[in-house]
Chain A
Amino acid sequence: MGASVSTSQETAHASAIRGLRIDPAYVLLAPATLFMLLLFVYPFAYGFLLSFEPHQGGWLANYRSFFSSDRLWPTILTTLKLALPATAINLGLALPLAYRLRVKSPYQKWLTAILVVPITLGTVLIADGMLTYLGPKGWLSQTLQALHLIDEPVHLTHNYIGVLISLVTSGFPFVFLLVLSYITGIDPVLARAAATLGANPWQQFRYVYLPLLSPGLAMAFCLAFVQAFSVYPSAVLLGAPAGPTRVISVAAYEAAFEQYDDSLASCVAMIMGIVQLAVVGGALGLRGLFYRGPVAGGKG
């Protein structure tokens, strides 16, 4: 009896949903939607609006002061000067390594594992290790001096180079794994076909692999760039946050937690987002110029 009641209730419920023309499967989207709304859309919208409510002046006052202050607008260039080379170096290192490791071999597994290890280390741990190892009194400097290869200690920390090394160390595994997965997705029989047609190994890479990889490389560039552009801990710990590595996130931090100007901090964050979006948009725009179809050479 009880069972039949609950069944009829369920039927009524289902028909009510059908009456509203809502596919019950959409309910499954609710948690993700809620998550996005609460943790991304709302804070973003809040910050966006907040950036137009300065403590003083008109609604654009924050943006006006950002672009007129010599302490603020150059942070865009400082950050780009770090993020773009770091991304380029990571891609430049990852591509040949991943290409070399695309075929299965006994050492492929081990080398891949070693290359990916830095992904497990936090930025702070990397920074600490680098300070010990690469600092003026670190092992590297002392060894080089002991070997009389250099006369003065090398300065690889608390400057631009230190932050760049840290960005490469922490960013490389991501880029490498991404590029490796794109490369192994390309049917190796295409390169063999190119070889039988007279393409030497370089031409096989240049005319077969590279064009098919380009969309993937653009994607990897975007992800690596966004990660590098929002650099904060290594810029502070390994750089010179007062000068050469005063990146945009440092400016945002100062506005928020030193001047307690939430509105200005939001404005800096918005500008940071716009610059990231512009670079990513540019990269994806270039991606549109390349072939983006399937990367297999016919039926499987």
Chain B
Amino acid sequence: MSGRATPNDFDELRLVSVNRTFGGSTGPRFAALKDLSLVVRRGEFIALLGPSGCGKSTALNCIAGLLQLSGGGIWLDEKRIDVLPPEKRGFGMVFQNYALFPHMTVRKNVGFGLRMRGVPAAQIQSRVDHALSLVQLAGQADKLPGQLSGGQQQRVAIARAIVIEPPLVLMDEPLSNLDAKLRIETRAEIRRIHRELGRATIYVTHDQDEALSLADRIVVLREGVVQQVAPPHEVYAQPANLHVARFMGYRNVIDFDPAPTARTGQVTLHRDGMSLTGTLRQVTDGGRLCAAIRPDDITIGAEQTVNTVPGWVANVEYCGRDSLIDVSVPGGVTLHVRASSTVALGDKLHLSVLPERVLVYAADT
């Protein structure tokens, strides 16, 4: 399908201040999604990333039409689609628990969307065959879903979603029911299928590795509010705020005393018995500040002129290629550090970190 022009394609999907509230008449109102605005371009792979309860699945269900909006609108080019029922939107969706029809063979499952569209039987046959070979399940067409493994079932679900040539493919944590090895294999499969078909995809996940490896752009959500929309390398290296930083693996978050108002550039932070120079990521207003550092960005042994502290190894967690160690440094702070050389409990070390790898944010309220 890669060569031919893709039907049902679009230039952009626009979400304009999409809101969704739950509850109300019986319980307290709860805003699951607040003012989500986003433009998805043709062929783009978007990951909605966040912890559970952040509103990412709500957003996906709103786009699919499985949930009504409480406010805002969704447009596919010039057409307003948030008023349409799901069956009129025609987006392919892959569910977390696969949602295969248990009473239909793999072939019937994959052909279901085409059958609902009144496609002639002969054409269904060939398109289903094509979709099954794309997900490498050509030999399993006559089995029931119950006879397949979890990974195979999820591939059937993917085939079922893409065979209808939808303008947009929606995936709701499609890998979270698979074991670690299958997850990585299926992830590569999803990437390959997306490359071959070039269909715009919105992918919901709570796993930053999945988002980083698959997406063209990542939308980080927290409590229904967008925190950052950026390509993976930017979300990884330059998180927009402390929440995104924590989520992207900045495990060391250290509180510091308030510093004078500043806009950009390097600042030197102080607290009891410790000072650290870092790069400002947010405009500060004179309040308390936090420094966020990845365990991998801290080096052991090298004596730099700035940002060097002595410390004692308090815990060692062996991880195979390297170890994750906890180092106690003056001021009652424990730093998580990745160590490739062997260290033992109680060893004295010197830790250092480059100022550009110390990201400074306003403290959480």
**Most chain A Cβ neighbours within 10 Å, of B85, B103, B150, B177:** B103
Over the window 171-188 of chain A, the binary record of Cβ atoms lying under 8 Å from chain B Cβ atoms (1 yes, 0 no) is 000000000000000010
CB-based contact B93/A196 at 8 Å: yes
Q: B144 interface residue, CB < 8 Å from A? A: yes
A212 touches B86 (CB 8 A): no
A291 partner, pick from B89, B103, B160, beta carbons under 8 A? B103
How far does the alpha carbon of A296 sit from the alpha carbon of B65 in the complex, in Å?
Answer: 22
14 CB contacts below 8 A, A to B, read A190-B102, A192-B86, A193-B100, A194-B116, A196-B65, A197-B112, A197-B164, A198-B164, A290-B103, A293-B102, A297-B98, A298-B95, A298-B98, A299-B177
In the complex, B153 has a CB within 8 A of chain A = yes
Query: In this complex, what residue of B is CB-closest to A299?
Result: B177
Q: Does B73 contact A (CB under 8 A)?
A: no
Closest A residue, CB atoms, query B115: A207
- Docked pose: A192 CA to B101 CA in angstroms: 11
CA distance A300 to B99 in the complex (A): 10
Task: State the Cβ distance, B4 to closest chain A Cβ, in Å.
Answer: 22
A/B pair count, beta carbons within 8 Å: 101
Q: How far is the CA of A290 from the CA of B87 in the complex (A)?
A: 27
Decide if B98 touches A299 in the complex (CB within 8 Å). Answer: yes
Minimum distance in angstroms from A189 CB to a CB of chain B: 5
Given contacts A203-B116, A212-B103, A299-B97, contact A196 B92 (CB under 8 A): yes
Contacting residue for A198 out of B99, B102, B116, CB 8 A: B116
A295: Cβ under 8 A from any B Cβ: yes
Q: Please report which residues of chain A, range 254-300, place their CB below 8 angstroms from some CB of chain B when the two chains form the complex.
A: 290-291, 293-300
**Bound: A60/B213 CA distance, A:** 81
Residues of A at the B interface (CB closer than 8 Å) are: 106, 187, 189-190, 192-200, 203, 207-208, 211-212, 290-291, 293-300
Within 1-31 of B, Cβ neighbours of A (below 8 Å) are at: 25-26
Residue B79, interface by CB 8 Å: no
Contacts A195-B85, A196-B92, A199-B87 given: A297-B26 contact, CB under 8 Å? Answer: no
* B66 to chain A: closest residue by CB: A192
User: Which of B87, B112, B144 meets A207, CB within 8 Å?
Assistant: B112
Instruction: Return chain A residues, CB-CB under 8 Å to B103.
Output: 211-212, 290-291, 293
Residues of A within 8 Å of B89, CB to CB, are 196
Top 8 nearest A-B pairs (CB, nearest first) are A298-B98, A291-B103, A197-B113, A193-B99, A198-B116, A297-B99, A195-B86, A196-B93
Number of chain B residues close to chain A: CB under 8 A: 37
Map CB proximity to A onto B147-173 as digits: 1 under 8 Å, 0 otherwise. Answer: 000100110010011001000001000
- Residues on B with beta carbons closer than 8 Å to the beta carbon of A199: 87, 112, 116
Per a CB cutoff under 8 Å, which of B26, B101, B144 touches A190? B101
The answer, among A194, A195, A200, A298, for a CB contact under 8 Å with B65, is A195
Contact with A along B100-117 (1 / 0, CB 8 A): 111100000000110011
Which residues of chain B are within 8 angstroms of A295 by Cβ–Cβ distance?
Answer: 102
